[in-house]
Amino acid sequence: MMTILEITVERWPIAGTFTISRGSKTEAAVVLCTLRDGLYTGRGECVPYARYGESLDSVCAEIEKLRDALAAGATREDLHGLIGEGAARNAVDCALWDLEAKRSGKRVADIIGLPPLKTLTTAVTVSFGDAETMAASARAMADRPVIKVKVGGEDDEERIFAVAEAAPKSRIILDANEGWTDANIVRHMLAAAKAGIVLIEQPLPAGKDAILSTIPHPVPICADESAHGTDDLHNLLGRYDSINIKLDKTGGLTEALRMQKRARDLDFGIMVGCMVGTSLAMAPAVLVAQDADFVDLDGPLILKEDRSPGLVFAGSLVSPPEPQLWG
């Protein structure tokens, strides 16, 4: 049965502005991969990320290269020999999972062999800004169990203490997005420890993080930009305590599951995160997040509106996807 590929670029406005240390954005630009066989349809969504050399055009071109292979029946396992990790493979891999589920009449979770899926508690995000503005945002979220705070400035101590004071009952994660330096990391980490921060995500630039193996970790450190796929994990030993698994980095659910298993074997903690996208991008990640220490899948909450149907959020709780959405 021939599989027909469709590639669509979509733009989803953000509610306000989403800011990290590298810049701001007002929309989520995503690529939708749709696979049709005449009876069933599978979908996958990815978010191209300029930090990794991706653009809408480059990702669409990478997916387009797979058209003939998909028509000839290429499988998820075949993708690893046809295309590298990253957003393009993620969209196709997740669409193939969805198509397999629709054809078989089984949920993806059942195909994988997962226990019944549970509702998860996701972090919600405070954008980067001045300390006063960030504290106000944190105060508005102070009833949320987990808050992820974007930092990455030269002098973040004021931001750290301001948000911690504004949300004293929340577990707070700091995400520096590679914005700290060898000169300020110890100072920032000591401030984070004093403020009761529970995790620090990617404090230093990927490839320039050797100091992490020689300085104390008063707060556990999580690799994000340094951790793409399973092959990266061995090099992170001794530098990081946890890893952030994102399907747009791993190149799909298939590799994310491999990475998750290997990370547990190596005693890494696990966060499952996301780019800013719709519920279709989050849905496969919910399966990986069933065995995560931290869940950061609030992408749809940052948008003005989400897909319909989408994931069901109740405060910080996110329910497993329904088949009409994915899987």
Active site residues: 150, 246
Ramachandran region of residue 4, left (φ > 0), alpha (ψ -120 to 50) or beta? beta
Q: Is the dihedral of CA 132, 134, 140, 146 positive or negative?
A: negative
Check if the beta carbon of residue 155 is closer than 8 Å to that of residue 179: no
Partners of 23 in the β-ladder? 20
For residue 145, give both structure tokens: 């169990």
Per DSSP, the residues of 247-310 read: HHHHTSHHHHHHHHHHHHHTT-EEEE---S--HHHHHHHHHHGGG-SEE---HHHHBSS--SS-
Cα–Cα distance measured from residue 169 to residue 166, given in angstroms and rounded to the nearest whole number: 9
